[in-house]
Chains A and B, each alone.
Chain A
Amino acid sequence: METVLAILVGSLVAATVFLMLSRNIVKFLFGLVLLGNAANLLIFAAGRLTYARPGLIPDGAAAPLGDVANALPQAMVLTAIVIGFGLTAFAFALVYRAYQELGTTDTDEMRVAEPPLDASQLDTPAQDRRAA
């Protein structure tokens, strides 16, 4: 059963990579959402899959009857989903603000932090400074 999820996660990651390598930052964000789903499925499947038997303890029993789904990765994935939501919402707000400031959603044009270098921007050589 894990095999199917492995292929599914691989496909989601492939889609993610392709989207993230796009020049459009919005597509990058779509990739981020897909990657979150892929990661959650991966963690979920890493705890092994049990079909249709949730980790609940019946009334009156002290422990679950028989094999039930692994609850530990479920707890991890649950919080990961909520955190992923917070993160993605923040990323969208960031992209929105960046668009307001820079007027573009093309990552090749978002070069405020690392502007393209040209020779005139280089520091003056030390030899010239020595004369000062």
Chain B
Amino acid sequence: MTIVSIERPDLVASPHSRLTSRFAGWVGFFLAAGLTAFFASKVPVVAAGETLRWTVDWVPTLGYQLSFYVDGLSLLFALLISGIGAFIFLYTPVYLSAYRHASRLVVVLILFMISMLGLVMADDMIALFVFWELTTITSYILIGFDHDNAKARRCALQALLVTGAGGLVMLAGFVLLGSAAGTFQLSELKAQGFHLAEHAAYLPILILILIGAFTKSAQIPFHFWLPNAMAAPTPISAYLHSATMVKGGVYLMARMHPVLGGTPEWAWILTIIGAATAVVASVLALRQTDLKLALAYTTVMALGTLTMFLGAEAGVAIAAAVTFLLVHALYKCALFLVVGIIDHGTGTRDAPRLGGLARAMPITTAAAAAAALSMAGFPPFLGFIGKELKYEGALAIASEPGLAITAAVAANAMMVAVAAIVGLRPFFARPVATPKVPHEAPFRMWIGPVTLAALGLFFGLVPPLVANGLVQPAVASVLGAPQVVKLALWHGINLPLLLSVVTLLLGVLVYVRHLQIRDSLAAFEARLPTDTDRVYDLSIDALKDLAAWQTRLIQSGVLRRYLFVVFAVVVLAVGGTLLMKDGLRLPQAWPDVPLPVWGMTALVLAGAVLTVLAKSRLLAICALGSVGFGVALIFLMYGAPDVAMTQLLVEILFVIIIAIVLLRLPRFGKRTAGLGASRWQDGVLAVGTGLVTTALMLAATRGPIDREITAYFEANSATEAYGRNIVNVILVDFRALDTLGEILVVAVAAFAVVGLVKLRQRRWRAS
């Protein structure tokens, strides 16, 4: 989104909306800062090897608990989420101060932060899934903040569909895992160790859960949604799409490492997918001119690297992953925020249109340079330590060290070039005229990048601080065993250092030639037959076509077809059940029935037949009346005078109302006779339904009946309820609550008719 041009006046902030968004921003800031302080205070405890836990019963009958626990891994993530969140809450209201609905965004951002914290602290897999989808949903709203823009809407929906579908697949994996292991608690799963590797369902579990992780963390072939998610406002991208949400998949893989890891399948899938993602994304990053998109692709590259290292068993590879996670969060978030400042201050973030900003934005320049140097891996920044460790870790990857080393060097060289393009070139290149006169950002916007970049330098200078407090406990959680991690700037002259030098040289070379490389990449991209984004579109279109097709098939909109299906199902299901369960009970003898009953039965039958055959409305009404009349007399003969009276009276009213209505409806036309063939089918179905009903009723009335309830009513009607008409006593005393409900239904029907008829009259009069 562009922050400068607002065409819709109703979206421009009023003084009031500005105030509410600032207020929401401060609420978020203090919440995040408080949480950061809380988590920071727990660092020594967790570093000592303890885990914190809180438990609330959630669905006790199913054994689900809402339990949270914090070990080294969770604590590292929680600190990143709340700490970076605090700066985002300072930054966002200023960045979006021109927008009326900025406060909404901030509120959703608070929800997101809480969901993300729940995700990394949940002990129960079901709870983890719920928080996982909550981050998906909140990110959908955040990406689609500029909802007047069709592109933003599409990108938001794409992120929702890709990560949401992945989440569902992951849930299936969780359920399988939970039933295979007998527990849904991650902490208990971890304690069980490697027994799962021999389980028959191991591979399905692994693949299902990894699909969830890969969609969330934008691994190939699901990577396309992340660059598209850059439709979000820049601070949102900085928070969700670099530092926190996209790391959710990485977190899951790290969490599952002790449970599912250590097998060849795990190692191969993660190494290959991770390496491929890292290399492809770093090439695509060079292709972009939009600074934000370039950063987005380097994020995909970083996620690929993390995945690749998590495939390994060696402690040093895991240490490399955890350290790089921290390094990346610090510099990438800082650079995103810097790009936001550039966009805000100059009106563009297109690389060719930027240059010479160092003079106008000295503070931002310092932050950007520090972050870029950390990203490029220069000493004495934490990025250098991270890169050295990566090479050491890549060498230790057992399955395929050659692949890992090549991927790491290639990706890192591209990172050097992108760091220069994003973090240095806009500030130090030849000045270019920008849409707005560049100016320095206000304090609340630069404090975030400055602090994050400074932390990258500070941690690089005092590596034991991070090593002991954050990295070592996190590595221990991932490996499931204590692990000593030593971070240092200087390891002596060894292979990793040599590789670092090669990387820097390569990176500088790529930077010098990056304009030509970008052009040839663009030309190459134009010749590609398709890309995953287009495949996504095609599959969405195919899904919609399928939906339209099955809707046309099932929802024909023709009442007769619906009813035909319903009655046919009744015949098949009920009739089939009766046949299979041996429920057919045919009468053994000619029924012994008094003569008047035969008469009434004949009357009802004749009425029914006449109703079907009647060509005139009046005849049909008379026939219907005779059916009701005959049924009433049957009630009367079998000892139900109350029912019979009610039926007779209702029959009278029926005829009156039907007559009133029918006189205003057209006569039965010729068409009602229908098409010969279809009515023949209707007739067969009608006879079939009738036969099934008769069979069902014969079966139901054949067995003994339990008259216990009636016996109670008969015994207590006179003595307890002072009534000698048992039916009436049931209605007004024993089962009065039922009757109350029934007269309520009658009343509702009456009022509904008034609504139908009278409200329209009012509408007509109004128009």
A→B interface (CB under 8 Å): 1-24, 26-28, 30, 33-34, 37-38, 40-42, 44-59, 61-64, 68-72, 74-75, 77-79, 81-90, 92-97, 99-100, 105-108, 110-111, 113-117, 122-123, 125-127, 129-130, 132
Contacts and interface: CB of A to CB of B under 8 A. Distances in A.
Nearest to A101: B760
Contacts of B150: 129, 132
A86 B672 contact: no
A127 B537 contact: yes
Contacts of B669: 24
Given A34-B608, A53-B639, A82-B742, A48 B628 contact: no
Given A81-B643, A81-B646, A92-B658, A99 B608 contact: no
A68 B639 contact: yes
A95 B538 CA distance: 44
A78 to B, nearest CB: 5
A93 B756 contact: yes
A24 B668 contact: yes
A115 B551 CA distance: 12
A50 B637 CA distance: 9
A86 B627 contact: no
A51 B650 contact: no
B436 interface: no
Contacts of A30: 611, 620, 624
A48 B760 CA distance: 47
Which 4 residue pairs spanning A and B have beta carbons closest together?
A14-B690, A69-B639, A10-B694, A114-B557
B717 A10 contact: no
Contact of A79 (B541, B591, B739): B739
B662 interface: yes
Interface stretch (B32-40, B456-464, B727-735): B727-735
B557 A115 contact: yes
Contacts of A16: 686
B15 interface: no
11 contacts: A6-B697, A10-B690, A17-B682, A17-B685, A23-B671, A54-B641, A57-B725, A59-B724, A62-B719, A96-B665, A105-B666
Contact of A55 (B639, B683, B738): B639
B591 A1 contact: yes
B198 interface: no
A83 B729 CA distance: 19
Interface size grouping (class) on chain B: 35 or more
Contacts of B739: 79
Interface of B: 150-151, 154, 533-534, 537-538, 540-541, 544, 548, 551-552, 555-560, 563-564, 567, 587, 591-594, 597-598, 601, 604-605, 608-609, 611-612, 617, 620, 624, 627-628, 631, 634-635, 637-643, 646-647, 650, 653-654, 657-658, 661-662, 664-666, 668-669, 671-672, 674, 679, 682-683, 685-687, 689-695, 697-698, 700-701, 705, 707, 709-710, 713-715, 717-719, 724-727, 730-731, 735, 738-739, 742-743, 745-746, 748-750, 752-753, 756-757, 760
A17 B624 contact: no
B137 to A, nearest CB: 21
A126 B556 CA distance: 25
A125 to B, nearest CB: 5
Given A46-B701, A108-B558, A116-B557, A63 B714 contact: yes
Contacts, number: 311
Contact of A94 (B544, B567, B674, B756): B756
Given A21-B686, A74-B640, A82 B540 contact: no
A107 B560 contact: yes
Contacts of A108: 558-560
Given A7-B694, A21-B564, A34-B627, 15 more contacts: A10-B694, A15-B611, A33-B654, A41-B631, A47-B710, A50-B638, A62-B718, A63-B718, A71-B726, A75-B731, A79-B742, A82-B746, A94-B756, A108-B559, A132-B154
A123 B753 CA distance: 37
Given A63-B714, A129-B154, A34 B611 contact: yes
A21 B671 contact: no
B500 to A, nearest CB: 41
B537 A126 contact: yes
B563 A71 contact: no
B697 A26 contact: no
Contacts of B665: 26, 95-96, 99, 105
Contacts of A74: 635, 640, 642-643, 727
Contacts of A23: 560, 671-672, 674
B654 A85 contact: yes
Given A18-B612, A55-B639, A86-B745, A110 B559 contact: yes
A34 B624 contact: yes
Contact of A3 (B587, B608, B690, B752): B587
A63 B715 contact: yes
B730 A75 contact: yes
A31 to B, nearest CB: 8
Given A78-B643, A105-B665, A45 B697 contact: yes
A89 to B, nearest CB: 5
B592 A93 contact: no
B738 A78 contact: no
Given A55-B714, A107-B560, A132-B150, A90 B749 contact: yes
Contacts of A53: 639
A56 B552 contact: no
A3 B662 CA distance: 36
A83 to B, nearest CB: 5
A54 B644 CA distance: 11
Contacts of A11: 605, 608, 690
Contact of A52 (B601, B637, B714, B738): B637
A112 to B, nearest CB: 9
A39 B532 CA distance: 58
Contact of A70 (B697, B710, B738, B746): B710
B601 A130 contact: no
Contacts of B639: 50-55, 68-69
Contact of A4 (B591, B653, B693, B731): B591
Contact of A71 (B611, B693, B700, B710): B710
A8 B707 CA distance: 25
A15 B609 contact: yes
A44 to B, nearest CB: 7
Contacts of A2: 697-698, 701
B690 A17 contact: yes
Given A42-B697, A132-B151, A48 B666 contact: no
A17 B668 CA distance: 18
A55 B709 CA distance: 14
Contact of B686 (A15, A33, A92): A15
A48 B701 contact: yes
B160 to A, nearest CB: 14
Nearest to A10: B694
Name the residue among A16, A81, A117 with the largest chain B CB count within 10 angstroms: A81
A35 B18 CA distance: 64
A95 B661 CA distance: 9
A56 B641 CA distance: 10
B764 to A, nearest CB: 11
Contacts of B683: 18
A110 B399 CA distance: 67
Name the residue among B609, B634, B691 with the largest chain A CB count within 10 angstroms: B634
Name the residue among A4, A14, A83, A96 with the largest chain B CB count within 10 angstroms: A14
Nearest to B681: A21
A106 B464 CA distance: 83
A14 B689 CA distance: 6
B548 A122 contact: yes
